[in-house]
């Protein structure tokens, strides 16, 4: 009997066996469900850059707004600057102050509060013909003690709430004993605001730089130690830069100008605007606020020459540098000297 060894199998049979063995494997592979490719959900990556906090700024000061006063309207008042009225009440807490020429070569203030309205302020005096053009952009409330009938009518025609000592029926005004009449009328400012809860806050009046060092005058101005302005032979206020306080300190007629606490009145920004005077109303001068003129902007111990302009009673004052750039102020309070072009003068001392 012949026995055939496996290694002598026919090549054809070996090939058939291999194919036969492979078919089940292929069939199994074809029928088996595909294995899913694993995926990894990426974990959130924390940003290294924090989200900046949005800080609301006081519209008339450019500094962080106290939330308690965020919705307050502007409160403007005609403030006395007679020697018998000094020191005034609440003047050191103003956001913006305008000094203007009145009859007899004296000056008075249009003072505006919003970021910090005092309970009591004054002494309050009568309205003048230029005041509607100054106060209208601020809106809110204006307080005064009266005035000539035509001037009162002009103020009442402006889009602000008028409250006056002469016509007040709600006890907002009274006379104090520490000063002599007519320099002793004061007004309850916060109480007046509470009586008009629906008034809107004012719009921002000037552009402000992110930091005091970036204010236009601080960057491009000329170092100035003292700003002397003269309204008349009776009134010549000045401002001196004080490095220690980082502010301008006020003097009047060569003497320190003090607030009710015995401290010098201060300003972060001092603007000097040369203005025309309209003598239509006889001895009562009207500062011309609609138009344009020469200006000096002082911030951070430096002064920049500029041009001011105001198109209408409701328009904002625009300050433009000699190179055509819009001027920014430093955050803080601002005093504006409306110096007449005829009788007045301006001197900048390095």
Same domain, 187 and 282: no
Least confident of 33-47, 117-131, 323-337: 33-47
Task: Give the span between the Cα atoms of 283 and 294, in whole angstroms.
Answer: 25
Per-residue pLDDT of 264-321, as tens digits, reads 999 999 999 999 999 999 999 999 999 999 999 999 999 999 999 999 999 999 999 9
Task: Give the span between the Cα atoms of 40 and 347, in whole angstroms.
Answer: 74
The per-residue pLDDT for 54 is 66
User: What is the overall mean pLDDT for the chain?
Assistant: 88
Query: Number of structural domains, the chain?
Result: 2
The whole-model pTM stands at: 0.85
What is the residue range of 101's domain? 67-194
What percent of the chain lies above the pLDDT cut of 90?
83
pLDDT band at 36 (very low <50, low <70, confident <90, very high): very low
Position 217 in a domain: yes
- At 334 the three-state DSSP class reads strand
pLDDT band at 43 (very low <50, low <70, confident <90, very high): very low
Per-residue pLDDT of 85-94, as tens digits, reads 999 999 999 9
Same domain, 345 and 221: yes
Same domain, 338 and 243: yes
Per-residue pLDDT of 179-202, as tens digits, reads 999 999 999 999 999 999 999 999
Same domain, 217 and 339: yes
Same domain, 230 and 108: no
Per-residue pLDDT at 9 exceeds 80 = no
Same domain, 217 and 340: yes
Which among 241, 249, 202 is positioned nearest to 70, based on CA atoms? 202
Same domain, 113 and 235: no
Q: What tokens appear for 8 in the block?
A: 């002598």
Position 40 in a domain: no
Position 38 in a domain: no
The per-residue pLDDT for 343 is 87
The mean pLDDT value for 117-146 works out to 98
The CATH number that applies at residue 116 is 3.50.90.10
Position 35 in a domain: no
Tokens 């004052």 sit on residue: 317
Task: Give the span between the Cα atoms of 3 and 21, in whole angstroms.
Answer: 25
Among 160, 194, 228, the domain boundary falls at 194
Same domain, 156 and 256: no
The per-residue pLDDT for 163 is 98
Task: Give the span between the Cα atoms of 317 and 320, in whole angstroms.
Answer: 10
Please give the torsion angle defined by the CA atoms of residues 114, 117, 121 and 124, in that order, rounded to the nearest 10 degrees: 20
pLDDT band at 52 (very low <50, low <70, confident <90, very high): low
Position 163 in a domain: yes
Same domain, 220 and 161: no
């Amino acid at each position: 009997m012949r026995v055939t060894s496996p290694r002598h199998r026919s090549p054809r049979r070996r090939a058939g066996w291999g194919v036969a063995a492979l078919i089940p494997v292929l069939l199994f592979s074809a029928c088996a469900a595909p294995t899913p490719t694993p995926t990894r959900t990426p974990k959130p990556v924390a940003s290294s850059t924090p989200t900046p906090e949005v800080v609301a700024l006081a519209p008339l000061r450019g500094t962080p707004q106290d939330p308690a006063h965020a919705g307050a309207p502007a409160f403007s008042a005609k403030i006395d600057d007679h020697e018998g009225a000094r020191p005034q009440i609440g003047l050191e807490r103003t956001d913006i102050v305008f000094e203007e020429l009145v009859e007899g070569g004296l000056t008075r203030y249009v003072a505006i509060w919003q970021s910090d309205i005092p309970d009591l302020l004054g002494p309050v005096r009568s309205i003048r013909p230029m005041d509607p053009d100054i106060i209208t952009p601020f809106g809110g409330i204006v307080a005064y003690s009266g005035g000539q009938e035509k001037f009162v009518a002009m103020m009442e025609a402006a889009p602000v709430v008028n409250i006056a000592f002469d016509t007040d029926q709600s006890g907002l005004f009274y006379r104090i004993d520490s000063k002599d009449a007519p320099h002793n009328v004061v007004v309850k400012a916060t109480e007046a605001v509470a009586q008009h809860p629906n008034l809107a806050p004012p719009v921002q009046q000037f552009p402000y730089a992110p930091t005091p060092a970036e204010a236009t005058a601080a960057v491009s101005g000329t170092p100035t130690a003292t700003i002397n302005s003269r309204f008349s032979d009776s009134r010549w206020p000045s401002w001196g830069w004080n490095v220690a306080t980082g502010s301008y300190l006020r003097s009047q007629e060569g003497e320190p100008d003090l607030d009710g606490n015995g401290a010098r009145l201060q300003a972060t920004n001092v603007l000097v605007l040369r203005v025309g005077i309209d003598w239509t109303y006889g001895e009562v001068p009207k500062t011309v606020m609609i138009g344009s003129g020469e200006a000096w902007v002082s911030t951070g111990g430096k002064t920049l020459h500029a041009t001011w302009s105001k198109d209408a009673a409701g328009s904002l004052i625009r300050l433009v540098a000699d190179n055509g750039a819009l001027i920014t102020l430093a955050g803080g309070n601002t005093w504006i000297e409306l110096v007449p072009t005829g009788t007045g003068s301006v001197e900048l001392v390095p």
